[in-house]
Structure 1
Amino acid sequence: MSIYLPIAEVSVNIYLLLGLGGIVGFLSGMFGVGGGFLMTPLLMMIGIPPAVAVATEANQIVASSVSGALAQYRRGNVDVKMGLILLAGGIVGSVIGVQIVKILREIGQVDLVIKLTYVTMLSIIGSMMFIESVNAIRKSRKAGKKAGPVRKPGSHNWVHGLPFRMRFPRSKLYISIIPPIGVGILVGLLAAIMGVGGGFIMVPAMIYLLRMPTGVVVGTSLFQIGFVTILTTILNAVQNQTVDVVLALILMSSAVIGAQLGARVGSRLPGEQLRVLLALMVLAMCVKLAWGLVATPEELFSFAGGGE
């Protein structure tokens, strides 16, 4: 059964959309990511215009991330204090990112920039996560014991030498608020430009840069993602008019259920295995998008408009 999407101006099978929403919601709860790095390219692949896919997916992420965050909070896996610091940076990044999208639409380059940004970010992050996680698993197996965390909470690096330090009891950290704010700004930019929650950036940054325990990272990531995507959705709807409410509601309805199931499954897997699986998905989507940029299109001519 097909349904017409008024803002996207296309007809799509409603069961396909429900299935995509459920799968992405499951991944959100399992890995602590918004899932936009998978959903936004998938929406573009089924014919949704990139600008609409980006803005609408940010809306859908609200449902899956909030649902997943609540599930993680009940398990005690959310550092609210750290989440608020990340959120402060995310608000700044979101405002800047929405303005960048507006400018790109006016000059007619938004589609290309979105795809190039996806390929670049996914290739870098996916490769780094995969290599590090595989090395960690190999070392633990050679030692003849179960894989442990790559670092211990409270271990020191250059981050601990920065000013404006604050204690985060839940994460057992005493660090500067400058790195979390910087991570938040980057995630806010990605939410606006790529239609993602930014979890595939924030999760590794929280683990390797901020040295947070893996269990707390998932819930805290979802906490911050929920609020940032709410702001991004509102800004895109008001300034760019690219949020398709019908599409967002369909995706939300199944994403909420999927997030709850994903949170249960994710809590049973070791942190290293979760990172390997996430890295493989990131790299797979990167390859698909990169191929779409270099492959010869079926239609050699197309019409595209930049602004209104």
Structure 2
Amino acid sequence: MEILGLSLGLLVLFVSFGFMVGVLFGFFGMGGSFLITPTLLLLEYPASVAIGSGLAFYFGTSVIAVLKHYDIGQVDYKLGAILFVVLSVGIELGSRLVFGLEALGIADLVTGVAYVVLLAGIGALFLRRAYNLDDDLDEAVDDEDTVDDEEIPPIAQKIQSYTVPPMISLSSGGRASAWTITGAGGSVGLISGLIGVGGGFIRMPVIYYLIGTPLTAAVGTSLFAGLFSGAFGTFTYGMSGSVDLTVVSLLLVGSALGARIGSAATTIVDEDEVIVYFGLMMVFASVGIGLSELANWLGTGALDLVSVLLLVGSSFAVALMILYQVFTSINADETSTQPNPDSGD
């Protein structure tokens, strides 16, 4: 039996996969194109359709997630607008760099290595940050103090201490130099243009570690900054007929709920757990993409299949961990608010 030209199995797969990616998207503030695109390629969709549909999904989920982050006040619109401008310039420079590397015949090698190194490096950075947070929490317990979940990383505090005008006020209350924002955003755009992704998995850590916003605000602002680039990419591929509206619609049906749950989860799940999940996901993604590059080099499809299964499987596992933490927190709150039947007057 087919519905909308797809088998029932594929229909359920797209809706459920959209839900899981939506949870991750709303929670981490990164796009789903690096998850959606390889999955569609595995299902034998043409490359242009896989990329175009991935971008269209990214744009649609961005709208949903940004609205949720707006509801809970986690978007710095001024910072996001500035980042969008410098990101666009960086992406243009990155695309020109790719053309130059293609002329030298090393574009595929450079982009593949850059992808693996970036994902592994970002994952390791966040896992190290989580380890340091555990140490800080232990010290705080010993000192009978509390740890501020909205505290920005020490490296960002150090960067903010250099007040090089003009200074930009952040919605979180801090200030950052326009030079820092421009340099960080331009670098992310350059890398995005070089490796051909939306850049959410780079953009969010940069906003958090270099510009210095709290983690929850970094997620919302990252989503907002990437919203416009997703719209432009969707329009470009859509004009050439490279967007499968049926697939995108099914993915968005699932992600509409998932993205709002993921966005809301950032206010429920502890910061150190957010960092651990993000770090683990980036490390697994690095391994998966590394295997994909190795498969291309060896000319075997078996490793390519393993890489996609690793990438998608780790994403489902992390999304389930997030949902488990949300339900556990909700149940704990309900239990604590229920009256004790054994208590007397």
Question: Could you say which TM-score interval applies, normalised by the shorter chain?
Answer: 0.7 to 0.9
Deviation (angstroms), 1:91: 2.1
Structure 1 window deviating more from structure 2 (92-101 vs 259-268): it is: 92-101
Q: Which moved more, 1:57-66 or 1:166-175?
A: 166-175
Alpha-carbon separation, structure 2, partners of 1:197 and 1:54:
11
CA 1:143–1:299 in 2, change beyond 3 Å: closer, same or farther?
A: closer
Q: What is the match of residue 133 of structure 2?
A: 136
Alignment correspondent of 2:230: 229
Q: One-letter code of the match for 2:230?
A: T
Corresponding position: 1:57 with 2:20: no
Decide whether the 8 Å contact of 1:153 with 1:173 is kept in 2.
no
Structure 2 match to 1:268? 268
Please say if residues 155 and 210 of structure 2, whose CA atoms lie closer than 8 Å, have aligned partners that are also in contact.
no
Q: What SS does structure 2 have at the residue aligned with 1:175?
A: strand
- The CA deviation at 1:210 is 1.2
C-alpha displacement at 1:68, in angstroms? 0.7
Shift of the alpha carbon at 1:53? 3.0
Alignment of 1:1-308 (within 5 A): 1=2, 13-97=10-94, 115-144=112-141, 147-149=147-149, 151=152, 156-161=157-162, 163-189=164-190, 191=192, 194=195, 196-237=197-238, 242-295=242-295, 296-298=298-300
| Worse overlay, 77-86 or 135-144 | 135-144
- CA contact under 8 A between 1:187 and 1:197: conserved in structure 2? no
What code does the residue aligned with 1:265 have?
A
Q: Which letter maps to 1:283?
A: V
Amino acid at match of 1:170: S
SS of equivalent residue, structure 1 residue 167: strand
Which residue of structure 2 lines up, in the alignment, with residue 303 of structure 1? none
Structure 2: state its 5+ residue gaps.
303-345
Q: Secondary structure of 2:263's match?
A: helix
Between Structure 1 and Structure 2, whose CA radius of gyration is higher?
A: 2
8 Å CA contact 2:156–2:209 kept in 1: the answer is: no
Cα 1:106/1:172, change in 2 over 3 Å = same
> For structure 1, which segment, 287-296 or 24-33, has the greater mean C-alpha deviation from structure 2 after superposition?
287-296
**Alpha-carbon distance in 2 for matches of 1:104, 1:245:** 33
RCO comparison, higher one (Cα < 8 Å, 6+): 1
CA-to-aligned-CA distance 1:67-113 (integer Å, 9 cap, x gap): 11110111111111111111111222344455667788999987666
**TM-score, normalised to structure 1's length?**
0.79
Q: Pick the structure with more helix per residue.
A: 2
Residue 290 of structure 1: how far off its partner (Å): 1.2
User: Structure 1 vs Structure 2: percent identity of aligned residues?
Assistant: 29
Query: Residues of 1 paired with 2:53 and 2:103: CA distance?
Result: 19
Amino acid at match of 2:257: I
Conserved in 2, the CA contact under 8 Å of 1:140 and 1:148? no
Distance 1:163 1:26, change over 3 A: same
Give TM-score scaled by structure 2 length.
0.71
The 1:97–1:63 alpha-carbon spacing in structure 2 relative to 1, beyond 3 Å, is: farther
In 2: Cα distance, 1:264 partner to 1:181 partner? 30
Look up the SS of the partner of 2:171 in the other structure: helix
Aligned partners of 1:81 and 1:67: how far apart in 2?
A: 20
How many aligned residue pairs are there?
A: 293
Q: Which deviations, in whole Å up to 9, do the C-alpha atoms of 1:249-283 show, x marking residues without a partner?
A: 33233222211121122220122211110111111
Q: Is the 8 A contact 2:140 2:147 kept in 1?
A: no
- Residue type of the alignment partner of 1:168: S
Judge conservation of contact 1:57–1:195 (CA < 8 Å) in 2.
no
In the TM superposition, residue 122 of structure 1 has moved relative to its aligned partner by: 0.9
The CA distance in 2 between the partners of 1:162 and 1:106, in whole Å, is 42
Instruction: Note the alpha carbon deviations across 1:148-201, whole angstroms, 9 max, x for none.
Output: 455379974245536442332412122211222233334444555555432221
Between stretches 248-257 and 202-211, larger displacement belongs to: 248-257
After superposition, the CA RMSD in angstroms is: 3.5
